[in-house]
Structures are given as C-alpha cells and as structure tokens.
Amino acid sequence: MKLNLRNSIAFFDLEATGTNISTDRIVEISIVKLHPDGGQDIYTRQVNPTIPIPLEASLIHGIYDKDIKDKPTFKDLSREIFTFIGQSDLSGFNVLKYDIPLLVEEFLRSGIEFDLDKRNLLDSQKIFHMMEKRNLTAAYKFYCGKDLKNAHSAEADTLATLDVFKAQVERYLGEEMEDLQGNKLGVFENDMKKLHELLNEKMVDLAGRFVFNDKGEEVFNFGKQKGKTITQVLKEEPGYYDWMMRGDFPLDTKRKLTQVKLRGFNQ
C-alpha cells in the first residue's frame, strides 16, 4: 500500500549502551527516509559512544567496544545526521519512549536544537498496542475463541485466566521460547517448574531492581551500579546497603539485598 505522505518520513532505529536516556549513548543508527513519491534513502552508521558498552547490551545488539573504537562519535556525525533527517516526520517501533528522546539528547549534547514541534511522530508500537489489545478479554477471545462475560468480576476473570493458560500450554507446546530481544530461552513444556524458569529466568526481586547475569550472579539493574554484582558493590561501597534500606524501595527488594549481603558474610 502506498502511504499518503505530505512530508518525508524518517523511519529509524537506535542501538545503544543501555536504556537510560540521560546517561546512555548511541552505538548504531539506521534511518530509512521515505519520500512522498515513494522513493527512499538509507543511512546507517556505527558510532563510538565514548563510554564502555556493558556486556548485557552487547549480547543484545552484537556490537562490542572493539567494533566501534575507531568509529566517529555522534558529535562527529551529528550535522550529517541532522541534514539527512531534514524536516521529515519521525517513525519507528517504540520511538516515543526511547529512540526519539535518546536521539534528541544526543543532538543537544552536540549543540544542535532538534525541533519536534512541526513533525509528526508515528510510533508503530503504540498503534500495535492500541489496535491489538493485550488485556484479558482480548487474550480470552484469541486463545479460547470466546467473549468474556462479566469482565472485571474476580471470579469471571480468574476462570477466564485458567482457560487462557491451558490454551497457551496446548498452543505453544514444543515451540522455542524467546525473550523480547529475540534470545532463545528454551522449549515450551507442560511443566510448571520449567515454565517458571523460562518466564522468570533473570528475576531476582519482583520490582526488577536486581537481575541475574549470565554467570547466575545477582547484579544491579538500575542507576550507576547497573551491571555490577551486589557483592561487588557492597564490598566497594558498604554505605550503599544503608542508602537502599533507607530509600523508597519495595520491601521485597530490600529483603533480597539483605539475603545477598548475609550470604556474603557466611561464605
């Protein structure tokens, strides 16, 4: 289908050192600029972020420090990227929450005002979520082929969830499971323990403040300590434990932190 365009649209995607808009940096940018006449131009560059790329990020996008050490920085490329985008509208998948804020941040760090006021911002993920509902009613219809009566009554919702879960096990039995980054996790089995391990393989605390790394160690998943093991941080900065225990963190998170700390004392 030919899109009805008044302006060009720059569809783009970023790979970065992480997901923190303020502190993380772009390591790759790809832009497909679609013109009203149907023609398109493509711009793709790897970028030296000037900071180390955490291993967790490299394992997702496949770009390591050695790959970009001789590449230009975003500031070096900023004027070129700015010119390529021009006055185009912007589009992509999850661009409103991540790619656009990170791109604007990089432009500002490079001394370039990147004005969004006169651009249309078109996020395919938002369209997907709005048009293909992901609530219980939609799941019941999708998996069970039924309309959910008395939605939002506790008993009806619970019974529907049971039917959905049984239908999911039957539908996906034997299929390969992947996480949101496309990493293969294992085969979907009719085994609750194995399903638990596949669904929650990296979860340490319920709030996600800590996750397991590839070595099975509990690591921080936020802030300046992100990617560091809990034991390493508590050894290097003992006061960090007290700061978190006084802070506005969930009790479950504090409990897990304490468990790891006490385990370290007993080893």
Domains of the chain: 9-129 (3.30.420.10), 136-199 (no CATH), 210-266 (no CATH)
The whole-angstrom separation of Cα 102 and Cα 112 is 13
Low-confidence ranges of the chain (pLDDT < 50): none
User: Using an 8 Å Cβ cutoff, are 115 and 103 in contact?
Assistant: no
H/E stretch holding 40: strand 40-46
The pLDDT, as a whole number, for residue 97 is 85
User: Using an 8 Å Cβ cutoff, are 123 and 92 in contact?
Assistant: yes
The pLDDT, as a whole number, for residue 200 is 66
The pLDDT, as a whole number, for residue 84 is 97
What would the pLDDT profile of 98-135 be if each residue is shown by its tens digit?
899 999 999 999 999 898 888 999 999 888 877 888 88
The pLDDT, as a whole number, for residue 24 is 93
The pLDDT, as a whole number, for residue 37 is 93
The pLDDT, as a whole number, for residue 206 is 82
Q: What SS3 state is found at 9?
A: strand
Tokens representing 87? 């006055």
User: Using an 8 Å Cβ cutoff, are 265 and 236 in contact?
Assistant: no
The pLDDT, as a whole number, for residue 195 is 86
The pLDDT, as a whole number, for residue 180 is 62
